Amino acid sequence: MTKSIQPQPSRRKVLLGASASLFPMPAIAQAPVELNVGIANASSDIGFFLGVKKGFYREEGILINTSAFRSAADMVAPMGAGQLDVGGGSVSAGFYNAFARGIKLRVVADKASSQPGYGVNKCLVAKKHVESGRFKTMADLKGMKFATNAPGNSGWGSLWGYLKAGGLDFKDVGTIDLAYPEHVLALQNNAVDAGVTTEPSATLAILKGYAVAATTDDKERPRHAIAQLLYSEKMAANADLGARFMKAYLRSIRYYYGAFKDGKLAGPNAEEIISVLTESTPVKDPEVYRTITPNGIDPDGRVDIPSLKEDQDIYRKLGWMESQTSVEQVIDMSFVEAALKELGPYKRQ
């Protein structure tokens, strides 16, 4: 059952998969540990949804209760208060500021990143600007008004990459914060000229004829760390439990990785993954997931630290970071390394 955790705009129930496991149940499974997990109710939560469905967490003696949040920023306080054990989302400026105030969360694995061919974040430009000749190269982004989704998160790292490709800086464009689905309407109504837009909203805007993709995150910020798996301080202090959770998580994202083909969910595991996503997220049309660019992920769970540092520099430049917290202070790859000792490195099928 999903527990009530504040702040929390929505709640959902996750049912444990009932299919028989191909792996023997460890002795610890006789006394399962319940963990509270914060999710964004997005496709990048596949590591949780699929792990439950396939029984990977159950095999590690873990039951998970999920609570949906608008963003990782809203998970910080509940994680610091011990209401959430695990969370998933963008490491924002607020995350670093909270760490400096004593909320010692840890970044422990990749959740979404711009792997080659899988640029889930797109630089959209209004189609009218392409047709009129107003936009021909990335330098033509100058003077445009961009739809973003919130200050101080990895989307601004994406925007930085797009502007840099045109020899521009933040001062050369305007921005307005809108929820991603609202980007589509804003492009339709000419309220913005462009957008830093993720899926499925990006593809929906393109399919409706409102925008074109000028470039994508994987081209301008290769392996950009968009979202991460987070552990609370209490969770991070339990090496055994943290490693068992990570083992189940890595098995899940590797299965997801097996659905990749040619920048789409079109590989061997695709239909199973699409079924889980339509069952578990607000997007209920499977054709949407067959059309969009799925979020990339490192199948060994490793986070691209250089891109986190670049994003952190952006937060400081724009005045969003109050602290001197370093990326190294919040990163803990020990749980990934422990899981990889058992699973071994990923081998593409």
- Both tokens of 274, joined, read 């699409």
4 confidence band (pLDDT: 50, 70, 90): very low
Q: Does 9 score more than 70 pLDDT?
A: no
pLDDT at 139: 98
Segments of 168-315 assigned E as strands: 174-177, 194-197, 211-216, 225-231, 260-261, 264-265
User: Same structural domain for residues 58 and 89?
Assistant: yes
Q: What does the alpha-carbon distance between residue 258 and residue 269 come to, in Å, rounded to a whole number?
A: 6
Is 18 part of a structural domain of the chain? yes
User: Same structural domain for residues 15 and 136?
Assistant: no
Single out the residue of 186, 156, 175 nearest to residue 308, CA to CA: 156
pLDDT at 348: 74
Question: pLDDT (tens digit, 9 = 90+) per residue, 133-167?
Answer: 999 999 999 999 999 998 999 999 999 999 999 99
pLDDT at 150: 87
The amino acid that residue 90 corresponds to is S
Q: Is the pTM here over 0.85, yes or no?
A: yes
Return all residues near 176 (Cβ < 8 A) that are at least 6 apart.
145, 146, 147, 148, 186, 191, 192
Question: pLDDT (tens digit, 9 = 90+) per residue, 257-305?
Answer: 999 999 999 999 999 999 999 999 988 999 999 999 999 999 999 999 9
Are 162 and 196 in contact, with CB atoms under 8 Å apart?
yes
Q: What does the alpha-carbon distance between residue 57 and residue 17 come to, in Å, rounded to a whole number?
A: 10
User: Same structural domain for residues 52 and 90?
Assistant: yes
Is 4 part of a structural domain of the chain? no
Are 168 and 144 in contact, with CB atoms under 8 Å apart?
no
Q: What percent of the chain has pLDDT over 90?
A: 84
CA 259 from centroid of its chain's CA atoms: 17
Place of tokens 């083992």: 247
- Domain end marker among 191, 220, 249: 220
**For 42-56, what is the mean pLDDT?**
95
Strands 86-89 and 33-39: parallel
Place of tokens 């950009």: 224
Q: Does 346 score more than 80 pLDDT?
A: yes
Q: What is the CATH number of the domain that holds 201?
A: 3.40.190.10
Residue 287 CB burial class (10 angstroms; 0-12, 13-18, ≥19): exposed
Are 183 and 134 in contact, with CB atoms under 8 Å apart?
no
**Ramachandran assignment for 344, one of left (phi > 0), alpha (psi -120 to 50 degrees), beta (any other):** left
User: Same structural domain for residues 332 and 200?
Assistant: no
**For 11-35, what is the mean pLDDT?**
52
User: Same structural domain for residues 83 and 152?
Assistant: no
Are 211 and 126 in contact, with CB atoms under 8 Å apart?
yes
Is 2 part of a structural domain of the chain? no
- Domain end marker among 168, 198, 220: 220
**For 36-43, what is the mean pLDDT?**
92
Q: What percent of the chain has pLDDT over 70?
A: 91
The amino acid that residue 342 corresponds to is E
User: Same structural domain for residues 297 and 339?
Assistant: yes
Question: pLDDT (tens digit, 9 = 90+) per residue, 313-336?
Answer: 999 999 999 889 999 999 999 999
30 confidence band (pLDDT: 50, 70, 90): low
Question: pLDDT (tens digit, 9 = 90+) per residue, 166-181?
Answer: 999 999 999 999 989 9
Segments of 220-294 assigned E as strands: 225-231, 260-261, 264-265
Is 74 part of a structural domain of the chain? yes
Number of domains in the chain: 2
188 confidence band (pLDDT: 50, 70, 90): very high
Return the number of other C-beta atoms located less than 10 Å from residue 271's C-beta: 15
Q: Does 22 score more than 90 pLDDT?
A: no
User: Same structural domain for residues 126 and 76?
Assistant: no
**For 17-31, what is the mean pLDDT?**
45
Is 234 part of a structural domain of the chain? yes
39 sits in which H/E element: strand 33-39
pLDDT at 272: 97
- Domain end marker among 194, 220, 246: 220
pLDDT at 14: 42
User: Same structural domain for residues 133 and 215?
Assistant: yes
Domain that holds residue 65: 10-115+224-343
**For 84-106, what is the mean pLDDT?**
94
Are 48 and 15 in contact, with CB atoms under 8 Å apart?
no
Is 249 part of a structural domain of the chain? yes
**For 5-11, what is the mean pLDDT?**
43
Q: Does 105 score more than 90 pLDDT?
A: yes
User: Same structural domain for residues 99 and 158?
Assistant: no
User: Same structural domain for residues 35 and 164?
Assistant: no
Is 5 part of a structural domain of the chain? no
Single out the residue of 283, 128, 118 nearest to residue 211, CA to CA: 128
**For 334-343, what is the mean pLDDT?**
98
Is 258 part of a structural domain of the chain? yes
Are 151 and 320 in contact, with CB atoms under 8 Å apart?
yes
312 sits in which H/E element: helix 305-317
pLDDT at 19: 35
Single out the residue of 66, 85, 63, 86 nearest to residue 17, CA to CA: 63
Q: How far is CA 189 from CA 184, 192, 198, in A?
A: 9, 8, 19
Q: Does 204 score more than 70 pLDDT?
A: yes
pLDDT at 349: 63
Question: pLDDT (tens digit, 9 = 90+) per residue, 237-260?
Answer: 999 999 999 999 999 999 999 999
Residue 311 CB burial class (10 angstroms; 0-12, 13-18, ≥19): buried
115 confidence band (pLDDT: 50, 70, 90): very high
User: Same structural domain for residues 258 and 315?
Assistant: yes
User: Same structural domain for residues 96 and 15?
Assistant: yes
